[in-house]
A and B are shown apart, each in its own frame.
Chain A
């Protein structure tokens, strides 16, 4: 079992719809959860992070975390063609020495159709 699992997609949604991206993780001790957006040929860009169970909203983005189910998701409302990119889920665990081990999923490719 991979430590962080994502469906590679592509996930196709029409413009204006809600895109829902999902991620599961295996380490119950994980503490921090991140979503990165990566355009083709570019570096990953941090767009959301969440540490506590529940929802966290930032503009059109909402991150949802359910630690009991080991599940984190990213919702993109009013999807735009400019949202077309690969979205990476990252899960971090902090050890006693202060080192944060971060494990990335392979990413879900999102296509927003005009």
Chain B
């Protein structure tokens, strides 16, 4: 499982509240990613990180921010949650040989 954990695994929150999702890895991989997965859209990249404090936007980054203060942790923050951000969120790491491995996911519901 590439030593990836995500927390929380499930969350229900109200519109307008901030939400932070955490991804933790134990294998010191440089690259980490946040994706969301929605029916009919597949997996879409939100943000990624290529090192401590080095992050960049993906294709669906509006309304999201990220931070990486330690190699092992990559945080995704929804500044003010909206119903359109109801989704399943996956964290992933990339190995030195370019394979990506995914964490177990967080199911987020915004009411």
Q: Of A14-22, A58-66, A93-101, which binds chain B?
A: A93-101
- Decide if B60 is an interface residue (CB 8 Å cutoff): no
Residues in A whose Cβ lies below 8 Å from that of B105: 42-43
| B79-111 vs A, Cβ < 8 Å mask (1 yes, 0 no) | 000000000001000100011111111000000
CB pair A43 B43 closer than 8 Å? no
Separation in Å of the A38 CB from the closest CB of chain B?
9
A43-B90, A43-B104, A99-B50 given; A88·B98 CB < 8 A: no
Q: How many residues of A contact B (CB 8 A)?
A: 21
CB pair B104 A105 closer than 8 Å? no
| A52-94 vs B, Cβ < 8 Å mask (1 yes, 0 no) | 0000000000000000000000000000000000001010101
A43-B103, A44-B90 given; A106·B98 CB < 8 A: no
Q: How many residues of B contact A (CB 8 A)?
A: 20
For chain A, what secondary structure do more than half of its interface residues adopt (helix, strand, loop), or is it mixed?
strand
Q: With contacts defined as CB atoms under 8 Å apart, how many contacts are there between chain A and chain B in the complex?
A: 41
Residues in B whose Cβ lies below 8 Å from that of A99: 48, 50, 56
17 pairs across A/B with beta carbons < 8 Å? A42-B105, A43-B102, A43-B104, A43-B105, A44-B102, A45-B102, A46-B100, A49-B99, A88-B42, A94-B98, A98-B50, A99-B50, A100-B31, A100-B94, A104-B43, A104-B44, A105-B42
B interface vs A, CB < 8 Å?
31, 40-45, 48, 50, 56, 90, 94, 98-105
Question: Which 10 pairs, one residue from A and one from B, show the smallest C-beta to C-beta distance?
Answer: A106-B42, A104-B43, A43-B102, A104-B42, A43-B105, A44-B102, A43-B104, A32-B98, A100-B98, A46-B99
- Beyond A43-B102, A102-B100, 10 additional pairs, beta carbon < 8 A: A42-B104, A43-B104, A88-B42, A88-B43, A98-B50, A99-B50, A102-B45, A104-B43, A104-B44, A106-B42
